[in-house]
Amino acid sequence: MKEAFFRGWLEYFEWNSEEPDTFPWQAREALSPLESMRIAKSIAAFQLGENSEGSALLKFAQSYGDRMGFAVLPLVTAFFVQEERNHSGLLGRFMDKHGIPKRQSEWTDTVFRAMRKPFGFEVSNSVLITAELISLVYYRALREATSSRLLRALCNKILEDEKSHVEYEAALIRFAQAGCGRPRAWVWRQGQRVLYAGTLAVVFLEHRQVLAPGGYRWKAFWSAGWKEFDRAFPVSAAEVAYRNGSKVEAFRWR
């Protein structure tokens, strides 16, 4: 992985941050009591989850960047954190418009934050991507479950951003796994799969009121989740890379 990789992403984040706000904030719409009841708690949890100062991640990025010679990594990470905070801001504004109360804490958010804290940049990314991959399914469900034109537009915007986040983080993780030796990479990948499976189950239980009307009952949710996972971490690509003895170059991701 080269500095050019991060320069490319810096360019992307800069470009994306300049996108004008064209969301239909003034749209005349009212949520039915049933819809409000279904989405309020769930959307509040995601609004909270998206809202992180990212101080631990920024610190990790600084030391990882120093160690690996990626000078631009802290800046890329700052843009990344800002983009997540923007999602939180957009959801928060929607919630204000519709009188949906915010949450100050939520147990899954607390667990996820705690899991990222004690480890370095690479593991932190593995935990992060778990949430990112699942959010790809969640926001699709939310978009289908709501009658709000505004919320649908916000879901589309967040989905676009999250697709890029997944692409970026998956490349970082594959790079780290390729460089840490086969046994460790195997353990890492299995750990990631276990964490992912458990998180899928928890997210379904916590958010089924949005997921089911959005078209994702348990089976559909489980398989959509794994489809996203396998797309980000194709087993065959990893195997081919190891067999050839090549590392990063084999993981052409863009």
Name the residues that contact Fe ion, by CB under 5 A.
Answer: 50, 84, 87, 132, 162, 165
- Of the pair 74, 241, the CB lying nearest Fe ion is at 74
CB atoms within 10 A of CB 159: 17
- Of the pair 132, 228, the CB lying nearest Fe ion is at 132
**Contact 76/9 with Cβ under 8 angstroms?**
yes
Which residue is nearest to Fe ion, using beta carbons?
165
CB of 84 to Fe ion, least distance (A): 5
CB of 23 to Fe ion, least distance (A): 16
CB of 235 to Fe ion, least distance (A): 24
- Of the pair 82, 223, the CB lying nearest Fe ion is at 82
**Contact 6/72 with Cβ under 8 angstroms?**
yes
What region, left, alpha or beta, does residue 181 occupy, with left being phi > 0 and alpha being psi -120 to 50 degrees? left
- Of the pair 19, 66, the CB lying nearest Fe ion is at 19
CB of 33 to Fe ion, least distance (A): 28
Structure tokens at 7: 């320069």
- Give which of 64, 82, 70, 186 is closest to 125, Cα–Cα: 64
CA atoms of 139 and 145, how far apart (whole Å): 10
- Of the pair 64, 138, the CB lying nearest Fe ion is at 138
CB of 39 to Fe ion, least distance (A): 17
Q: What angle (nearest 5°) sits at the alpha carbon of residue 123, between those of residues 122 and 124?
A: 90
CA-based max dimension of the chain = 59
